[in-house]
Amino acid sequence: MASKYDGLARIIIQNVGGKGNIKSITHCITRLRFKLKDESKANTDILKNTDGIVTVIQSGGQYQVVIGNHVPDVYDVVCEHAGISGAAPVADDGPAEKMSPGAALIDIISGVFQPLLSVLCAAGIIKGLLAVWSFVASSSFGIDVTTSGAYEIWNAVGDGFFYFLPIILGYTAAKKFKCSEFIGMALGVGLTYPNMVALKSAEVLGTVFAGTSFSMDYMTDFFGIPVIMPASGYTQSVVPVVLAVYIAAKLEKFFKKRIPDVIKTFIVPLCVLGIMMPLTYLVIGPIATVICNCLTLVFGGLYNIPVVGGIIAGALIGALWQVLVIFGLHWGLVPLAMINYGTLGYDFILSPYFCVSFAQSAVVLGMILKTKDQKLKDIAIPAFISGLFGVTEPCIYGITLPKKTPFVISCIGGAAGGIITAVAGVKSYTMGGLGLFGLPCYIDPNTNSLYSMIWVIISILVAAAVAFILTMVTYKDEAPAAKKEVSSSASVNGEVLVAPVKGEVKPLTEVSDAAFSSEAMGKGIAIVPVEGKVYAPADGTITAFFATGHAIGITTDKGAEVIIHVGMDTVQLEGKGFNPVAKQGDKVKRGDLLLEFDIDLIKEAGYSTETPIVITNSGKYSDIIPTDAASVENGNELITLL
């Protein structure tokens, strides 16, 4: 079934270098995140100028196409048309991509966390709402709802998701490292197995690193070797299972090459799990715990600098969070919060970021009130609403970042709110929703204390007030920009395309397929043919000729990129009724016959014969003028490009 995002999806696939250039694709809240074999093959400028795309970011080894809140729908259509299964890697016989250590780390963290992010937030929201329910019931009615069946059932998924997080991360990490997902999950199961978790309360046999921040008890051993575990155990942990799966992936490849195929199916996982589970408890877990403790000490130490620690930490995180988001570097800090949730039961390090989306939204609100540009208002109003719920990419990329000063103001507002959050020692108790949905995360579920939530609200008000006032004082509409010159790829005197088919003319906006009528693919015109022949509309090269024969792409010698699409959904005919006369790669002259097709067969099959002629690089032209004739013959002037 056709989607309204079909056209946009095709443009994206074509301009990231084609489906053969895609290694994998994932998405977050607003972006398609591609891993490309060769980023130089991507047409970034074309994508940035395409309706439906906010901007393009190249960072952390990813080619990120910012779409907006409807990105999941676009993602599904892109995957369908590209013939790939999202994050699942495409077969790649080329050289492995080289990334810096920092980029590789960000790529790993984002690859492991992105697939579960939406459910992670949902589970956090459930925990937050349960905390609100418990607080209201206890303080207003003296009722303890935590023992009720309803609370227990909802808490089973809210708290249970975090409790068994190593199992889920085992799955996503295995997909990232190209290991068997069930091996990854099995390692997570081993880390959260009830008997091992129960060891936390068993008799202590000894302690290592006693008296330090790295102190760990052991309650059992493995053939005499102490099994060292953190006091909180490995439930809710992040780093141990990810490291374990990374090594397991290497080990799995090693055994697959050496174990005979006849027994490989069960012997490979047997060997991997038999080695990795003890190795995880004896080596990987303790090392991961030490690393996590070091990170917490470093960032916690910044907060603990006398007098100015909280101010510095809050200002840095509040001011720079949006910059980190732009480059995808915020993923490097997310595990710190997850570590703290698992070990401390709360996080304080990243709390200053929470007010930032409200500072960004306040800047946009100020611009809405001051601007006289209706087009800007049309973009800004939905972006403002989105920002209140924590999704600020439409605000950033569509409004404030291009204008620079408003973006800087939002960072200043974020810093002001971040300082208050840090100095007040605000704690979040779960990873939950964004924006307004995230407020319940700051209610202490053990004591029902509202201390942190109250201070978060104060920081939001301060951040928003600072950002709003500065915007109202400084913002002015820019003077109207001079009309852009036509790109050098188009003729200075314009270019005229002639009718490739004979028939009745109709506006492109009136065709039955939304991918064309929305002009997402570009501007143009449509013809309802009365003759089953397609001719070249200009001198040029056939750059695309679908195997089914229903669509032709031509790049003219003067730089216009033209798609001629015979009929709606005629790809379903799988070439029946279409007889290509030319082929992809051919140089053609205006009026050359390219294709013959059977109009009656198309109609009998139940498909429309409407034939859009679309200029896919419409952004390169100052104006695109279709003919006002009601019908055309082959060779009549059809579209003038200026």
Catalytic residues: 28, 565
Contacts of 266 (CB under 8 A, 6+ apart): none
C-alpha triplet 555, 556, 559: angle, nearest 5°: 85
Identify whether the C-beta of residue 186 lies closer than 8 Å to the C-beta of residue 170.
Answer: yes
Cα 208 to Cα 231: distance, rounded to the nearest angstrom? 12
Going from the C-alpha of 47 to that of each of 317, 394, 444, the distances in angstroms are 31, 16, 45
With b meaning 16 or more CB within 10 Å and e meaning fewer, what string describes 449-473? Answer: bbebbebbebbbebbbbbbbebbee
Helix (H) or strand (E) holding 236: none
148: left (phi over 0), alpha (psi -120 to 50) or beta: beta
Q: How many other C-beta atoms are found inside a 10 Å radius of the C-beta of residue 389?
A: 17
Identify whether the C-beta of residue 401 lies closer than 8 Å to the C-beta of residue 323.
Answer: no
Q: Closest Cα partner for 12 from 31, 2, 385, 1?
A: 31
Cα 354 to Cα 339: distance, rounded to the nearest angstrom? 18
Please spell the DSSP secondary structure of 565-593, one letter per residue: E-SSSGGGGTTTTEEESS-TT-EE-TT-E
Contacts of 85 (CB under 8 A, 6+ apart): 79
What does the chain come to in residues? 642
Please write down the HEC assignment for all residues of 223-234: CCEEEEECCCCC
Helix (H) or strand (E) holding 181: helix 181-192
Identify whether the C-beta of residue 504 lies closer than 8 Å to the C-beta of residue 520.
Answer: no
Tokens encoding 335: 């595990």
Identify whether the C-beta of residue 395 lies closer than 8 Å to the C-beta of residue 386.
Answer: yes
Residue type, 510: E
